[in-house]
Structure 1
Amino acid sequence: MTADTPARDGVDPKVLKTALILVVGALAVVFDTTIVSVALHRLATSLDVPVSTIQWVTTGYMLALGAAVPLSTWALTRFGGKRVWMFALTVFLAGSVGSSLAWDAGSLIGWRVLQGLGGGLMLPVMTTLIMQAAGGHALGRTMTWVALPGLLGPILGPLVGGAIITDFSWRFMFWVNVPFCVAGLILAGRYLAKDTPDAAAARPRLDVWGLVLLVPGIVAVLLGLSDAGAAGFGRPGVLAPLAIGVAFLIAFTVHALRRRDPLVDVRLLAARSVGSSTAVLFLSGFSLFGAMLLLPLYYQEVRGVTALTAGLMLVPQGIGALLSRQIAGPLTDRIGAQSIAIVGFVVVAAATVPFAFVDATSDGWLLALWLLIRGVGLGAVTMPVMTASYVGLARAEIGHASVLTRIAQQVGGSFGTAVLAVVLEQAVAGDGPGAVVAGFHVAFWWATGFSLLATALCVWLPGSKQVRAAAAAASAAPPQPVKSGKSSV
């Protein structure tokens, strides 16, 4: 094996180096999302505005995040991965500094939107660059690095956010991002490979009509779902944006099927790897992200703990996900995502059932054990399913797959959170001291049911035969040339 040949039994050191460089910057996005989520009431008090207004600190960020994701594939082809990554990281850094200096609620929301635009580009660009560097080899092991920020965020984010809100000014929440952004920019500028497109080559044209249809469609759907969590699905303020968003998305699909170079190639959904993983990631939002709404609320509203204590109590779940990542990655490379994801969803469902029986006096240590087990299941679901979406894809298709799966994950997470929020609100509407506890029981049963439903979809995921065939094709393909020089990886 030569020095330029990727390792077949593990992650190529060059790929690992690329992953580590990108993960440093991506941690800023993940920490920011989880830290701010525990601070909304403090922000409302400090800025003297109602919670309904300060909620736009999160909603505006989420909408901007969704709006920027579809641009990543075109931007990578037009400007090169290194330039796009550093631009997006700079935008996120500017939004973070601006948020920390915000003078009122409106300015804070505006800076958060800028943050979201940078973060929306960063996440799919990171995934695309790492998976392209892998060249089809050791995808499961490679995905462990892609998933690392998402695994660390739920562990450290609520702790850092709770500690800041308890002992410091809310402005320090946004300064936490700055060291990650600065270090990420320095590392990327010095060590990421130069991949600037050839100046003599034809420049890809932006699919303007696709942009006009897709971005408003995503934003309208996410806006409707964010309002549904508080107002229910039957109100005009929820139904109108949802209907408009779905109409725009259908129109974009028709447009993309007719265009040779669409903004996002929806034809990839016909491939088993992309179609199955996108469907599972969408539905997983109900069981995975929806339950992440319920768990901290249970600890705060039923057990009466602070936001910091609730964050501490959720740490075992993050640890479990971090531990299972070490096993799920290599197993995915050997047997495919199908079996692993099925087992993972069953574990998630089983570990959610005990929360359908809890009350204010339930044993905290026993619940921590169930959260640890639930985290193991989460790690065995998200990473293999994300890996499955890249099985057998050509290099040029990886960016489109990253966008499709990211959109499915974000919309599915918002949809699942909204559904379980509505279920919880309706379930606790009864009278009596036990209404809140009974409401959480109902909501956790719904989360369990969604996990079992997602298990059925996992049968469609690529199995061991598809993984072996794709690995053989990748091994037979000639290695991709990498530009050398001072900045090469």
Structure 2
Amino acid sequence: MSTTAQTGRSGGKERIDPHLRRLAVVVVLGAIMTVLDSTIVNVAISSLGKDFGSSLSTIQWVVTGYTLALSMAIPLTGWSVQRFGARTMWLVSLGLFITGSLLCGMAWSVTSLIAFRVLQGLGGGMLMPIGQTMLVRQAGPDRMGRVMSIVSVPAMLAPVLGPLLGGLIVDHLSWRWMFYVNVPFCAVALAAALRMLPRDTERSADARLDVLGMLLLSPGLAALVYGLSEAGNGASLTGARFLTSVIAGAVLVVAFIAHAARKGDGALIDVRRLRTRAFTTATGAFFLYSSAVFGLMILIPLFARIVRGESALDSGWLLAPMGVGAMITLPLSGRLADRFGGRWIAAIGAVVALAGTAMLTSLDPGTGRALIMTAMFVVGLGHGMIAPSLMAMSYQGLPRAVVPAATTGANVLIRIGSSFGTAVMAVVLQIAIRDEIPGASGNLKDAAEHQTAQTPALLTSAFTETFWWAAAILLVALVPILAIPRKKTAALAE
């Protein structure tokens, strides 16, 4: 199959030709379930613990193991695509994910389930960046915004649909169907990939794996994500687990950056080639933005469950309008970014998301669901504008050969940013609870079990204070957004 774009013209911009459209369908089909699996299992933790007779701290590794495997797999994407080809690695990664999903559904113990979740994560971790690499290479600079709108679909649906789908399965079926449901869906994606993906032509048998870089970056990233996740789950910032993980992770990542700067082209990620203003400002903005938005998506269900006493499924529905809002603005923002550049589209999106977040700072215990859902809808409108614009802008001026490294680097930063945001919001909320409720430990479960007439109002005050922090991070994200180069420069040159 030819990779030459069959192009038309629309307002001076290339149209999305049939080949690129088919490629996009394959990528979305393959990536959507892997991204959903990051959130779908969260609502089943108590059911899993009951079935296996395991403690919460043990069963939590069903989620943590998958997240850490995702994090460790992402850095290998650039090298594997260069060495074996994007199509080959897409098929291998999707095969690993399907195998892991089937084995998870058949798990006979908590240990086997955790092991199979790690296998799932290793496959799932590379699918999104590999798919993004294939689309970016095919799209070229004139169609980048629209292509990034397509890439954003799985990431936007996961936080919204994951808890809802997980809640429906847990309520009406065995938890094993959370994993079995992946198999037929991904089998269709695998068949589509075999039929539609072009054979690999861009690969190099001479590509050597940067073993030292892998030993520094993959464990470093996993340690950082683990430490931040522990903080998000309520671990003390002065505790040994948090401090050891974050410090060790930071040291390993810094050591990798120093190593990669010296090694240059042979590094796992050639950081020297990514020192462009467009890449650093766009990915820096995305890091901050991901921190704020992922923090919000943790806070809203917590508020619904702890303050309002709602079920997991009902609290998950509060996030659904965010996906609806994003789906409305996604197609338009991609077209506008291609026509006019993405800087102002992203800036407007950040302001819209900030407006939705500001609505949440006025909550009280009696606030109706309509206001919360409206606020999340507004956040979603902004989300659909900012995410594809920033992703498209990060590739400005980068040569085609650097696309795998850029994609890997961007996905690494987004993964850390989402974990960082969850941790920051959880810590800020704990501190706010201690300030609002004298003698409270800051633990949400403890606060919920020792209710007084004033507790809902005091807890709401703690939540609204935390929402202000999310708004502040969004405001700070505007700084690197406005620093993105105004004029689009040539990208993806051979």
Q: TM-score scaled by structure 1?
A: 0.92
Matched, 1:70 2:75: yes
What is the distance in 2 between the residues matched to 1:22 and 1:92? 14
- Where does residue 262 of structure 2 map in the other structure? 258
- Where does residue 200 of structure 2 map in the other structure? 195
Matches of residues 310-349 of structure 1 in structure 2 within 5 Å? 310-349=315-354
Q: Which amino acid aligns with 1:180?
A: F
| CA-to-aligned-CA distance 1:234-290 (integer Å, 9 cap, x gap) | 222211121111111111111111113211111133111211122112111221111
Give the Å deviation of 1:340. Answer: 1.4
Q: Which amino acid aligns with 2:256?
A: F
Moved more, 257-266 or 37-46: 37-46
Q: Which amino acid aligns with 1:231?
A: A
- Where does residue 111 of structure 1 map in the other structure? 116
| CA-to-aligned-CA distance 1:462-487 (integer Å, 9 cap, x gap) | 32x1x2x43xx77xx6xx8xxxxxxx
What is the distance in 1 between the residues matched to 2:244 and 2:161? 37
Matched, 1:182 2:187: yes
| CA-to-aligned-CA distance 1:345-383 (integer Å, 9 cap, x gap) | 111111112222213321222322222111101111211
- Where does residue 287 of structure 2 map in the other structure? 282
What is the distance in 1 between the residues matched to 2:385 and 2:273? 24
Q: Which amino acid aligns with 1:177?
A: N
Give the Å deviation of 1:5. Answer: 4.1
What is the distance in 2 between the residues matched to 1:144 and 1:11? 12
* Backbone CA RMSD of aligned residues: 1.7
Residues 31, 177 of structure 1: 8 Å contact kept: no
Residues 285, 417 of structure 1: 8 Å contact kept: no
Moved more, 349-358 or 64-73: 349-358
Moved more, 34-43 or 169-178: 34-43
Cα separation, partners in 2 of 1:191 and 1:443, compared to 1, 3 Å: same
Matched, 1:83 2:88: yes
SS in 1 for 2:214: helix
2:401 maps to which of 396, 403, 423:
396
Q: Which amino acid aligns with 2:165?
A: V
List 4+ stretches of structure 1 deviating above 4 A.
none
1:240 maps to which of 238, 244, 248:
244
Moved more, 41-50 or 98-107: 41-50
The percentage of aligned residue pairs carrying the same residue is 40
SS in 2 for 1:294: helix
- Where does residue 448 of structure 2 map in the other structure? none
Q: Which amino acid aligns with 1:220?
A: A
1:99 maps to which of 85, 104, 114:
104
What is the distance in 1 between the residues matched to 2:165 and 2:100? 19
Cα separation, partners in 2 of 1:37 and 1:461, compared to 1, 3 Å: farther
- Where does residue 223 of structure 1 map in the other structure? 226
Q: Which amino acid aligns with 2:229?
A: S
Matched, 1:456 2:460: no
Q: Which amino acid aligns with 1:448?
A: A
Matches of residues 2-17 of structure 1 in structure 2 within 5 Å? 4-7=5-8, 8-17=13-22
Give the Å deviation of 1:37. Answer: 2.1
- Where does residue 444 of structure 1 map in the other structure? 467
Give the Å deviation of 1:4. Answer: 5.0
- Where does residue 130 of structure 2 map in the other structure? 125
2:172 maps to which of 164, 167, 170:
167
Structure 1 segments unaligned to the other structure (5+ residues): 481-489
What is the distance in 2 between the residues matched to 1:225 and 1:24? 30
Moved more, 445-454 or 307-316: 307-316
- Where does residue 39 of structure 2 map in the other structure? 34
Moved more, 244-253 or 153-162: 153-162
Aligned residues: 467
| CA-to-aligned-CA distance 1:118-170 (integer Å, 9 cap, x gap) | 01111110100111111333100111111111122234322211111111111
Cα separation, partners in 2 of 1:196 and 1:334, compared to 1, 3 Å: closer
2:139 maps to which of 134, 138, 142:
134
Moved more, 212-221 or 45-54: 45-54
Q: Which amino acid aligns with 2:73?
A: A
What is the distance in 2 between the residues matched to 1:441 and 1:381? 24
Give the Å deviation of 1:202. Answer: 4.6
SS in 2 for 1:299: helix
Cα separation, partners in 2 of 1:337 and 1:4, compared to 1, 3 Å: closer
| CA-to-aligned-CA distance 1:42-73 (integer Å, 9 cap, x gap) | 22222222222211111111111010001111
| CA-to-aligned-CA distance 1:405-459 (integer Å, 9 cap, x gap) | 1010000110110011111122223154133212211111111111111112211
Residues 5, 138 of structure 2: 8 Å contact kept: no
What is the distance in 2 between the residues matched to 1:114 and 1:202? 26
What is the distance in 2 between the residues matched to 1:39 and 1:404? 32
Structure 2 segments unaligned to the other structure (5+ residues): 439-453
SS in 2 for 1:422: helix
What is the distance in 2 between the residues matched to 1:196 and 1:54? 44
Q: Which amino acid aligns with 2:475?
A: L
Q: Which amino acid aligns with 1:86?
A: L
- Where does residue 445 of structure 2 map in the other structure? none
Matched, 1:307 2:312: yes
